[in-house]
Amino acid sequence: MDKFTKLTGIAAPMPLVNIDTDMIIPKQFLKTIKRSGLGVNLFDEMRYTLDGKEIPEFVLNQPAYRQAQIIVAGDNFGCGSSREHAPWALLDFGIRCVISTSFADIFYNNCFKNGILPIVMPQDVVDVLMEDAKKGANARQTVDLEAQTVTTSDGRVFPFDVDAHRKDCLINGLDDIGLTMVKAKSIDSFEQKAATLRPWA
């Protein structure tokens, strides 16, 4: 998993509330177990017409936001069914951070496990970040995980809270497998001792 320390990038404004996981990655794209290749289908039903043409009005189809790495979203982002493909699709598109007033619990947890930072902010702060994001590609926001701050393009700084363990995992690029591998020496030692004490096992 890629480390997340400090990100300065384009923020795409998505003021819709209740953006669920089926909107993020529709069910017909869940057949794969690969984490790559899903970015092209991110927000598929909002991005494309039925015959596959881009819908110009959708924010990620607009030239200013095609390289967005941050989404500033409406309330209750990631609700709906518990599909890990949703953060996979966001990450494959290039999104490393989503800011909202609230997230669905399973989606929130899955983000951390896949290298995406979900940030919960009060409504008044999200409103400021949303307006800043509407300025386009030249209005880059900075997310500093170590300092736990989000800075607007004009220098306004807003703090955020994050669980210390999850913060440490993102900064060090550790998913569940990575956390296990940190203990590899202890695991090997235990297995060697167990083999000696219980050779029949």
Give the C-alpha separation, 88 to 36, whole Å.
Answer: 7
- What number is the average pLDDT over the span 38-60? 96
Residues in the chain: 201
Task: Render pLDDT for 13-37 as a digit per residue (tens, 0 to 9).
Answer: 999 999 999 999 999 998 887 778 9
Distance between CA atoms of 102 and 79, rounded to whole angstroms? 10
| pLDDT of 45 above 70 | yes
Domains of the chain: 6-197 (3.20.19.10)
Q: How confident is the model at residue 77 (pLDDT cuts 50, 70, 90)?
A: very high
pLDDT digits (tens, 9 = 90+) for 114-155: 999 999 999 999 999 999 999 999 889 999 999 999 999 999
